[in-house]
Chain A
Amino acid sequence: MKKTLPQKFLLLAVVLMWSLGGLAHAQTATADSELKAASAAAPTTTTQAAGDPGGSTTGTVNDVPVSDAKAGVTVADVGNQVGQNKIAINFTWTLITGFLVMFMQAGFAMVEAGLCRVKNANHTYMMNFTVYACGLFAYWLIGFAIQMGGAAGNGNLGGLQPLNGEHTMSLFGKTWGLWGTQGMLLSGHTYDVGVMVIFLFEMVFMDTALTIVTGAAAERWKFLTFCVSSVLMGAFTYPIFGNWAWGGGWLAALGSNLGLGKGYCDFAGSGVVHAVGGLTALAVALIIGPRIGKFNRDGSPNAIIGHDISAVLIGCFILAFGWFGFNPGSTLGASAAGNLRIGSIAVNTMLAGCTGTFGAMLYMWALKGKPDASMSANGLLAGLVAITAPSGFVNPVGSAIIGAIAGVLVCLSVAFVESKMKIDDPVGAISVHGTCGLWGVLSVGLFADGKSNYGGAWNGVTGSVTGLFYGDASQLVAQIIGIGTLIGFVFTFSFALNWVLDVFLGQRVSAETELEGLDLPEMGQLGYPEFVFRPEPAFMHVEAAAVA
C-alpha cells in the first residue's frame, strides 16, 4: 500500500522518537554503570576508619541515599539528592539569617533603653522583650496566614505549595490579592517543612516592625495597652501590608496588572517592616502625647537625655550585624535563581550603613559643632533602613548615595518631627524607620540598575527591576503608590486602631507614674536599683501639678 505524505512523516517521527528514546535509555544505563563504578571505587569503611585529616575521603557517591538497595545508586537518586541539596542550602541560609534578625531584638532593646532615662530602663527593656512574645503569638494565630497564606510558588524553598489561598477582588477588569487564607496556627496541610522555614523568617521581620513602636512611645506607654496594641499589630496591621507587598497581593501585582515596572518592589522591607513600624510609631506618638517636660509653653523642645550612650552604640552594632540577616537573607536562598547576589546585597548593606553614619555625623558636626553620638548612631540605622528595600536591586555606588542621603535625612526629620510637628519621639524611631523607610522605598524607583536577575522575573514580570535613573519611570510610579499606601492606609489603620485602644484602655500612664518613673509602678522593680536618681527639674513638677 502506498503511504501518503503525512503518514510518511508520522512514521519518520515514530522511528526518530524510538531511536532517541533508545539513545536516552542507553545514556542512562551508561551513567548508572559509571555511578556503580564510582561507588565501587569510593573509599571503604576501613579506609575511612583511619581518619580523614585532609577531607578528601569524606563525602562520596556512597553518601547519596539510594531508593533501591539492590539497584544501587542511580541517576534518579543523584538528581533527587541534588534537588534536596539545593533546598537544604536555601533552608539553612534562610533559617540562619532569620536567627540573625531575631537577635536584632537585643539591639533594639539596648538602643531604646539607652536613650531613655534610668527610671524607665526596666519598662523599656521589658517592652522590647515582651513584644517578641506578643508578636509571635499573634502571627502564629492569624498574622502569618493573612500575610503569606497565598504565597505559594517560591522555588527557593521547595514551592511552598500548601500556601495556596489568596482572597482576591476583581476591579477594573483585573484581579487583585487582598489577604492570604492558608496557614492559621500552622495546622492542617500547612504543617510543612517549607512553610515552617518561611514562617520563622517572616515572623522575625514582623517582630522588628513591632519593636520600632516601643521606642517612640517609651517612658509613658501603659504596659497593658502596649501588649494589646502589639498583639493586634502582629495579627493585622503588619500582615495586611506584608501580603500586599510580599504575599502576592495587589501592590506586587501593579507590574503584571498595569505594567508599572515589576510592581511594588521592596527587597527586604524598608516599607513592609520599617515604614510600617515607623508610621505606627507616629500614630501612637500622636495619640499618647509628649512626655512631661518635653515642650515649653512657647512650644520649644527640651532635650531629655538618655542614661546610657554605651548601650545605644553597642545596640547599634548588634543591629548592623543583624542586618546581614535582614537583607541578604531576603533572597530566601543561597542556591539557584540568581541568589549568588547575596554577596552584593551584603556589601550594599555595609556601605549604606557606613555612608549613613557619615551623613549624620558630618551634618551634626559641621552644623551643630559636635559629632553627636546618638545622631551618628541614628545615621547608621537610617542608612541601613534605607538600603533595606533597594539592597537587592542596586549597585554599590547607588547604595552609598542612598545611605548618605538617609544619614542627613534622619537629622532633618528628627528636627522637623520635634520642632514643627511637636511630637515627642525619645529615640527618633519615626525618623529612622518611618522617614528613611519611605526614602528606601522611593530609592528603588530611582537607583535600581536592572542588573539583578532572580530567576528571570520579579513579582511575575519578566526582566530585572530598573529605576528611573536607568530608564524605567514606571517603576517609580509603583514605588510612589507603595508610599501612598503606607501613609494613606497603614498609618490611618494604625491610628484608628490605637485610638480605639485609647478609648477602651487608655494609652498613657498617669502623670504621677510618669514622674516617678515607670519601672516601679508598671514593672515592680527598678532597672538599676542601686543607682541614685537625680531629681527631675522643677518645671516638670510644675507641669505635673497642673495636671492634678
Chain B
Amino acid sequence: MAATKQQGQWFGLFLIGLTVTCAGIYDLSSGTGKIALALGLVVLVVSFLRFLGLKPLEGKVALGAQPAGMKAVGVLVTAAGWLLALFGLHLASGVGGRMVFAILGLGVSLVGVVLILPAACNKNAIWKA
C-alpha cells in the first residue's frame, strides 16, 4: 500500500491528540486542563485505532511471525538484570560488593539482549525458509 492520504490524516490527528494531552497536563490544576487531558487522550486512542485499521492494507511484509512469549521473556530478563544491579546498591554497602552486583546485573541484561531477543526475533525469519 505504501504511504497514503489516510496515513497523513491519522498522523495529524495523533499530533493534535498529543498536543491537547500535553496542554491538559500543563494546566491540570484547572477544569479546562482536565477536560483537555481527557479529550487529548481520547483523540490519541482514536488515532491509534485508525492506524490499526490501516495496517492490513499494507500488504505482506518480509518478516516471519515472531513468538510473543519468547520476546516477552527476553524483555523481562533484560529488565531483571537492571533491577538486580539496583537492589545490589542496597544489599551491599561496600564498593566491591556493589561492583559485583552491578556486573552481575549487567550480565543478566546482556543475556536478554544478546541471546534471547535475537533468537526470538529470528525464530521464524524468512531467510531460514
Residues of A within 8 A of B (CB): 137-138, 141-142, 172, 184-185, 187-188, 220, 222-224, 227-228, 231, 235, 254, 258, 260, 282, 286-292, 294-297, 299, 421-423, 473-474, 476-477, 480-481, 483-485, 487-489, 491-492, 495-496, 499, 503-506, 508-514, 521-524, 543-544, 546-548
Contacts and interface: CB of A to CB of B under 8 A. Distances in A.
Interface residues of B, number: 59
B102 interface: yes
Nearest to B78: A492
B34 interface: no
A506 B2 CA distance: 12
Given A141-B18, A220-B62, A511-B61, 12 more contacts: A188-B26, A228-B51, A235-B18, A282-B113, A290-B125, A295-B125, A483-B106, A489-B79, A491-B78, A491-B109, A508-B61, A523-B3
Nearest to B121: A286
Contacts of B113: 282, 487, 491
B22 A185 contact: yes
Contact of B2 (A172, A299, A510, A547): A510
Interface string B1-41: 11100010001001100110011011000000000000000
Nearest to B114: A421
B8 to A, nearest CB: 8
A231, A289, A477, A514, most chain B CB atoms within 10 A: A477
A196 to B, nearest CB: 17
B102 A548 contact: no
A184 to B, nearest CB: 4
Given A138-B18, A422-B125, A487-B109, A224 B3 contact: yes
- Main secondary structure, interface of B, reads helix
A474 B95 contact: yes
B75 to A, nearest CB: 6
Interface of B: 1-3, 7, 11, 14-15, 18-19, 22-23, 25-26, 48, 51-52, 54-55, 58-64, 66, 71, 75, 78-83, 85-86, 89-90, 95-96, 98-99, 102-103, 105-106, 109-110, 113-114, 117-118, 121-122, 125-129
Contact of A184 (B2, B22, B75): B22
24 contacts: A141-B19, A231-B15, A291-B62, A480-B103, A481-B86, A483-B106, A484-B106, A487-B81, A487-B106, A488-B105, A492-B82, A495-B78, A504-B48, A504-B55, A505-B52, A506-B61, A508-B62, A509-B61, A512-B59, A521-B2, A543-B126, A546-B129, A547-B60, A548-B60
A488 B109 contact: yes
B126 A546 contact: yes
Given A504-B51, A504-B52, A485 B82 contact: yes
The 10 closest A-B pairs by CB, nearest first: A488-B82, A521-B2, A510-B59, A295-B127, A511-B62, A141-B22, A484-B85, A480-B102, A289-B63, A421-B118
A484 B105 contact: yes
Contacts of A506: 55, 58, 61
A510 B83 contact: no
A184 B127 contact: no
A510 B55 contact: no
A512 B96 CA distance: 55
A341 B114 CA distance: 39
A230 B55 CA distance: 19
A287 B64 CA distance: 11
Contacts of A185: 22-23, 26
